[in-house]
């Protein structure tokens, strides 16, 4: 009898996984900014500074922790502080 290979797909799908992750994160005091265009991300010591656009309004954020979920090539575009060699390696990755 053949055995099935293990799967990495969430049991109830990725949407259910994402909704549960958002709920858990926000219930723990985290903030998530949807529909926000990041223009620049920089880091000074342990603080992340973000320049963004939300509802056609320029806004600035300062965070102690940041999770970026964009494709690597897009991340390289708005993170000006990265060393050029690292940015070049990000741009070579397939999306």
For the chain, what is the mean pLDDT?
A: 86
pLDDT at 95: 64
Q: How far is CA 87 from CA 42, 49, 54, 66, in A?
A: 14, 19, 26, 19
- pLDDT tens digit sequence for 29-57: 988 888 898 999 998 888 999 999 999 99
pLDDT at 2: 59
Of the pLDDT bands very low, low, confident and very high (cuts 50, 70, 90), residue 69 is: confident
58 or 86, which is more confident? 58
Average pLDDT over residues 60-89: 87
Q: Is 42 exposed, middle or buried (0-12, 13-18, 19+ CB in 10 A)?
A: middle
pLDDT at 88: 86
pLDDT at 54: 92
The model's pTM: 0.63
């Amino acid at each position: 009898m053949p055995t099935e290979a293990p799967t990495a797909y969430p049991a109830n799908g990725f949407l259910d996984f994402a909704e549960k992750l958002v709920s858990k994160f926000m219930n723990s005091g985290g903030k998530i900014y949807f529909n926000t265009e990041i223009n620049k991300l920089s880091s000074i010591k342990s603080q992340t500074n973000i320049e963004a656009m939300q509802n056609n309004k320029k806004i600035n954020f300062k965070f102690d922790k940041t999770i970026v979920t964009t494709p690597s090539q897009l991340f390289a575009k708005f993170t000006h502080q990265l060393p050029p060699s690292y940015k070049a390696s990000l741009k070579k990755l397939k999306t």
